[in-house]
Amino acid sequence: MRSPRPRLPAALLLAPLLAGCFSSPQDDSSSHSPGSGGRLRVALAFPPAEHYSPYGQDALVLTRLGVAEGLTRLDANGTAAPALAESWRGERGGRSWVFTLRDATFQDGTDVTAEAVAAALTHAASAEPAPAALSGVELTARAVGDDRIKVTTATADPVLPQRLTSPGLTVFSPKAYGRSGTVNPVGTATGPFRLTRITGDTAASLDRFDGYWGGRAQASGIDARFVSDGTARANALRTGEVDIAEALPVSQVSRLEKATVHQNNTARNTSLYLNTRAGVFSEAGLRAAAREAIDTSALAEGVFEAYAEPARGLYGPALTWASGKRTEPTGRSRATDPKGRRITIATYDDRPELPETAQVLQQQLEEAGFTVKLEVRTYARLESDLLAGKFDAAVASRNMMLDTGDPVTVLAGDHTCDGSYNLSFLCDKNVDATVAAAGAAADPGKRQDAAMKAEAAILGTDAVIPLVHLKVATGIDTSVKGAVLDPYEREFVGTGTRR
CB 15 within 8 A of CB 260: no
Give the pLDDT confidence score for residue 9 in this predicted structure.
35
Which segments of the chain have a pLDDT < 50?
Answer: 1-34
Pairing state of beta strands 85-91 and 342-348? unpaired
Please report, for residues 11, 80, 329, 451, 464, the alpha-carbon distance to residue 441 in angstroms, rounded to integers and kept in the order given.
11, 17, 21, 9, 24
End-to-end CA distance of the chain: 20
- Which of 474, 467, 472, 470 lies closest to 308 in space, CA to CA? 470
Half-sphere exposure of 395 (CA within 13 A, CB side): 30
Enumerate the β-bridge partners of residue 205: 197, 223
Question: For the purposes of burial, counting CB atoms within 10 Å of the CB of 34, is it exposed (0-12), middle (13-18) or buried (19 or more)?
Answer: middle
Q: Which residues pair with 54 in a beta bridge?
A: none
Around 359, how many Cα atoms within 13 Å sit in the side-chain half-sphere? 9
Give yes or no for a contact between 250 and 353, defined as CB atoms under 8 angstroms apart: yes
Q: How many residues does the chain have?
A: 499
Which pLDDT score, from 0 to 100, does residue 275 have?
A: 98
pTM (2 decimals)?
Answer: 0.74
pLDDT tens, 290-310? 999 999 999 999 998 878 999
Find all residues with CB under 8 Å of 238, minimum gap 6, and list them: 255, 256
- 481: helix, strand or coil: strand
CA atoms within 13 A on the CB side of 466: 24
For residue 242, the cross-strand partners are: none
**Domains detected in the chain:** 266-471 (3.10.105.10)
Distance CA 499, CA 481 (A): 6
pLDDT at 322: 86
| Burial class for 388, CB neighbours closer than 10 Å (0-12, 13-18, 19+) | exposed
